[in-house]
Structure 1
Amino acid sequence: MSANTTVVTSILDQLSSLGHKKVVFCNDPDTGLKAIIAVHDTTLGPALGGTRMWSYATEAEALEDVLRLSRGMTYKAAITGLNLGGGTAVIIGDSRKGKSEAMMRSYGRFIKNLNGEFITAEDVGTTMRDMEYIRMETSHVTGVPESIGGAGDPSPVSAKGVYLGIKACVKEVFGTDVLAGRSVVVQGIGSVGEHLVELLRNDNVEVFVSDINEERLQYVAKKYKAKAVEADRVFGLDVDIYAPCALGATVNDSTIPKMKFAIIAGSANNQLANEQTHGQLLLEKNILFAPDYLINAGGLINCYSELTGYGKKRTMQLTENIYEATRNVIKLSKAENIPTIRAANRIAEQRIIDIKKIKSSF
């Protein structure tokens, strides 16, 4: 009894420390579903976030990931100016062999039971097809194909936002946002990473690519005339920009000392293993970090457009705002000599505080 109490207390302490509203554990033995849905904040609107399927080593690891990701979604929506809250879900399992229609539809029923408090979309390990299965059980899902009324694949919009964030950082460091002649290493060339490579190569950027999938690595390198590099060489490369586009926590105690980059700007979530420690280390090393949840917001914007009925033109207008928003974060960071992640958090938190005041006055 005491051991169980300790576990519960530990989980509740984690929720309190990060400011979460709700965490739902989903279990369906019939389909093999084991999932966690985290709703962080709904001040600005319903919590929207992706569903990630990953082979987590432990349930504690899965919980830690979903809590960090959902908090990031709150800040992403807030700093981007969207009327959405933050949430995320993770499914524990191997997406390549453990996924089925029955599992995703069962998961959809759990989302339905939240009565619109959480709306999901695709993420690592899930696809538009999975979103279709979820849609069979609940309307609280985005990122479905255009053929059935959705906004389609969010990857190109995500990549566009990262590209604009890179340009804003290059403007700060080099005095112009012209990218021709610059060098970038893109780590992780999934759908978003590949679209980013294409945008950069169209601007005559020297691009290095790295991925754990060797076949895909060689394919993308050949297709875009990029240079393939082994994973263990990434952090020692003498290039202008590091663009992490796979999983998070690659900016950490062991990688920062190796870095010669002027800028870190990519699509991966939670790139800093520890926000406070590693944000400060980058500031001291004079490496400009583009807060990940700000510049990778294109996918969220795409989903928001689907919910609101905006067309592609409005979606791209909202995405283009990422350039100026990044410049504003850099400006605050310089003015107060604080890490860019702290500056971004402050801007996002202030919007939530302001809206809470408005709601409480009625």
Structure 2
Amino acid sequence: MTAFWTEPDFDDHEMVHVVRDRKSGLMAIIAVHSTHLGPGAGGTRFWHYPDPKDGLRDALRLSRGMSYKNAMAGLPMGGGKAVILADESRTKTPELLSAFGDAVEGLNGRYVTAEDVGISEADMVAVSQRTSHVSGLPVSGGNAAGGDPGPFTSYGIYLGIKAAVQHKLRTDSMAGVHVAVQGTGSVGGGVARLLAEDGARLTLADIHADGVAALADELGAAIVAPDDILTTHCDVLSPNALGAILDDESIAALNTQIVAGGANNQLARTHHGQVLFDRGILYAPDYVINAGGIISVATEYLARRDGNVATIDDVNGLIEQIPDRLATIWQTSEAGGASPDVVADTMAQELIGRG
């Protein structure tokens, strides 16, 4: 692996920690971008990267995104991310999770972890046996906040899509609005269900054919092949899978008025926000619209740290501020001629003391 500070996605990160535990087989990267507002918070991704440099790239980009996301969500948390470099068989053992928990504990609270791609609530419970700097833990019921942050992420994206439709299409109703949803797992599936309740017309795509077929039957939605979803004629394209999907070629082929979804780092490179803007496509900066999960995780963690219990109402109240933040970004963008991603980045950089 090359020196991290020579990577194009290195952005004056405070810490890039490489973890190797031979006994358990753990190889991980923990990146903390900023602790200006508080401990670096962000989930752990468990993924097989044929080239470890791609894992480093993910850790750097995602941790920077978490700095911006947490700042724009008004949370007293910095930005961090962990990537566990899974083997080709994606072997995950109790010993590996324990070793990862020890690594988090060894950072003395500079990084707080939670679920991300490939990591479950049960995995976080295992990690929590070795460190208290973990969130997204199961709750026993009632109105207490906690557990899988996915539904909270879905709720924020749903509210953000409604805000985008109101801003761009000038309607408060989702009835008949055509939304193409890329990725129908926990987050994308939740978004689709909420939109269906509002009467939206849905087209779905996912690499898992059985799952997307079942969801389409449930919601009365259409299905297209994963390769076709980005070119679907629709009002809103909602990317909810992996990132870096919006590049010169894909943006040129888009047939939508709005891009608003939960995937992290949707723009392949920074200039692609301007490419969208020049095409007249309204973009909801991903780390603003998809902040519901980290809002849940951070609210749970901070309350538990202080000996309190956060409620679902507390979390939802914070998530429901997402549409106003997006509206401010879009209004500033249109007034000044800068693309929404640049406006959001500028706001976030000022909040973390790098403006």
Instruction: Calculate the TM-score normalised by the size of structure 2.
Output: 0.94
1:147-158 equivalent positions in 2, closer than 5 A: 147=140, 151-158=146-153
1:83-162 equivalent positions in 2, closer than 5 A: 83-93=76-86, 97-147=90-140, 151-162=146-157
Q: Match for residue 282 of structure 2?
A: 288
Q: Match for residue 69 of structure 1?
A: 62
* Larger proportion of helix: 1
> For 1:136-171, what per-residue CA distance to the aligned partner results, in whole angstroms no more than 9, with x for missing partners?
000000001013986111111100110111111111
Question: Among 16, 21, 36, which residue is 1:28 paired with?
Answer: 21
Distance (Å, rounded) in 1 between the aligned partners of 2:351 and 2:279: 30
* Inter-CA distance 64–216: structure 2 relative to 1 (3 Å threshold): same
Q: Match for residue 314 of structure 2?
A: 314
Question: Among 160, 177, 188, which residue is 1:165 paired with?
Answer: 160
Question: Among 41, 48, 55, which residue is 1:55 paired with?
Answer: 48
8 Å contact kept, 2:9–2:61: no
Q: CA deviation at 1:96?
A: 6.7
Task: Give the RMSD, CA atoms, in angstroms.
Answer: 1.8
Q: CA deviation at 1:176?
A: 2.2
* Inter-CA distance 113–15: structure 2 relative to 1 (3 Å threshold): farther
Distance (Å, rounded) in 2 between the aligned partners of 1:327 and 1:305: 24
> For 1:273-295, what per-residue CA distance to the aligned partner results, in whole angstroms no more than 9, with x for missing partners?
012x2111101100011000000
Work out whether 1:353 is the aligned partner of 2:347: no
Q: What letter is aligned with 2:61?
A: R
Question: Among 277, 293, 305, which residue is 1:299 paired with?
Answer: 293
For these two proteins, the number of residue pairs brought into alignment is 347
Q: Match for residue 36 of structure 2?
A: 43
> For 1:317-357, what per-residue CA distance to the aligned partner results, in whole angstroms no more than 9, with x for missing partners?
00000010000110111111111000101111122239x9x
Q: CA deviation at 1:13?
A: 3.1
Distance (Å, rounded) in 2 between the aligned partners of 1:338 and 1:136: 47
Q: Match for residue 195 of structure 1?
A: 190
Q: What letter is aligned with 2:170?
A: G
Distance (Å, rounded) in 2 between the aligned partners of 1:256 and 1:115: 43
* Inter-CA distance 144–170: structure 2 relative to 1 (3 Å threshold): same
Distance (Å, rounded) in 1 between the aligned partners of 2:108 and 2:205: 41
Work out whether 1:253 is the aligned partner of 2:248: yes
Q: CA deviation at 1:268?
A: 0.4
Work out whether 1:204 is the aligned partner of 2:199: yes
> For 1:238-261, what per-residue CA distance to the aligned partner results, in whole angstroms no more than 9, with x for missing partners?
100110101001111221111111
Q: CA deviation at 1:17?
A: 4.6
8 Å contact kept, 2:181–2:204: yes
Distance (Å, rounded) in 2 between the aligned partners of 1:175 and 1:16: 37
Work out whether 1:220 is the aligned partner of 2:234: no
Deviates more, 1:23-32 or 1:283-292: 23-32
Distance (Å, rounded) in 2 between the aligned partners of 1:253 and 1:315: 37
Distance (Å, rounded) in 2 between the aligned partners of 1:223 and 1:97: 31
Q: Match for residue 359 of structure 1?
A: none
Instruction: Calculate the TM-score normalised by the size of structure 1.
Output: 0.92
SS in 2 for 1:306: helix
Q: Match for residue 360 of structure 1?
A: none
Q: Match for residue 230 of structure 2?
A: 235
Q: Match for residue 331 of structure 2?
A: 331
Q: CA deviation at 1:62?
A: 0.6
Distance (Å, rounded) in 2 between the aligned partners of 1:15 and 1:105: 32
Task: Structure 1: give runs of 5+ residues left out of the alignment.
Answer: 357-362
8 Å contact kept, 1:251–1:278: yes
Task: Structure 2: give runs of 5+ residues left out of the alignment.
Answer: 304-309
Q: What letter is aligned with 2:103?
A: F
Work out whether 1:262 is the aligned partner of 2:261: no
> For 1:83-116, what per-residue CA distance to the aligned partner results, in whole angstroms no more than 9, with x for missing partners?
0000000011159741111111110000000000
